[in-house]
Amino acid sequence: MKLVSFNVNGIRAILGKGFAEAFHSFDADIFFIEESKYSEDLHLVFPFEAPGYETYWTVSKVRKGYSGVAAFTKKKPLSIHYGLLDGKYDEEGRVITLEYEDFYFVGAYVPNAGDGLKRMDFRMQFEQDLLEYFKFLEAKKPIIYTGDLNVAYQEIDIKNPASNHNNPGFTDQERNAFGNLLSKGYTDTFRLLHPEEVKYSWWSYRFHARENNAGWRIDYFLVSNALKEKVQSAEIHNDVFGSDHCPVSLEIDLPF
C-alpha cells in the first residue's frame, strides 16, 4: 500500500503548478493534502477531482482561506471522522480519520504556534487532545498518522538549529510534545529507514531557502509500533515543486 501526504499551500494555487501530474505520478492508494485553503460550502465539489478516488475534505469554519485538509482514497473507508474526539478542531478543518479493516489513517494539519508563539497554548492543547484521541483509536486498531506536523524534532531535521531555537516549530515545548507522542508507541518512519539522512520537506519563500536547501523536516508519516516491521519505504520527494512544502510518502505491507 502506498500513501502520500502533501501540504499544497492552497489547492487552487497549486493546480496551475503541475499538481495533477504529480498526483497521478504517485499512483497512491491514499493521497492526503493539508492547507487546502478551500473555503466553499462542504456540499460543493472539491476543486480537484481524481477519477478512481473517493474524496473527503473539511474546511475552516472560522476563517476563509485558512487551513483545510482533504483525503483521496482508492478504497471507500469503513468510516470517516472529522476532527479529534467529539469533532474538536474541525472548526479549523484540521483532521480527517479514515477507518479501514486493519488500521486507522489519520491525516492532520497541526496548528502552528504562531508569530511570537501566540498560539502555543492552543498548540499544546491540541497535542494533549491528540494523545487522548489516539488512545481511543488504539483500543481498536493501529494508526498511520501523517501530515504537516509543524515541528522539526531533532537538530538533524533543520538547517540552522541554533538560530531557529525557540522559533515556532522548533521550540522545546513542541519538540518535547513530539517526543512524548513517539514514547507512547509510535515510530517516525523516515527516521526509521534513514537514521542519518539530512532531508527537508519545507522551505521558507524568503532568502532563496529552497535553492540553498535551508529547510525543515516538518512533514511526517508515523505508525503505531505494531506496524513498524511492515514499513517498506519512507521518502521525502523534494524534486516535486509547486508549494513551499514537498510530498512525503510511505509504502507499507498492509492489505488495502
Q: What is the pLDDT of residues 76-125, one digit of tens each?
A: 999 999 999 999 999 999 999 999 999 999 999 999 999 999 999 999 99
Angle formed at CA 101 by CA 92 and CA 89, multiple of 5 degrees: 10
Q: What is the pLDDT of residues 182-198, one digit of tens each?
A: 999 999 999 999 999 99
Residue 168 is given by DSSP the state T
Span 1-18, average pLDDT = 97
N- to C-terminal Cα distance for the chain? Answer: 6
Interstrand relation of 30-34 and 2-7 (parallel, antiparallel or unpaired): parallel
How far is Cα 29 from Cα 197, in angstroms, rounded to an integer?
26
**Annotated catalytic sites, by residue?**
109, 148
Q: What is the pLDDT of residues 132-185, one digit of tens each?
A: 999 999 999 999 999 999 999 999 999 999 999 999 999 999 999 999 999 999
Grid look-up 483525503 returns 71
Residues 116, 120, 122, 126: what is their CA dihedral angle, to the nearest 10 degrees? 140
Amino acid at residue number 66: Y
How far is Cα 144 from Cα 126, in angstroms, rounded to an integer?
18
pLDDT of residue 139: 98
Q: What is the pLDDT of residues 26-52, one digit of tens each?
A: 999 999 999 999 987 655 789 999 999
Give the three-state DSSP class for 224. Answer: strand
Q: Rg (Cα) of the chain, in Å, rounded?
A: 17
Residue 132 is given by DSSP the state H
Are residues 230 and 253 in contact, defined by beta-carbon separation less than 8 angstroms? yes
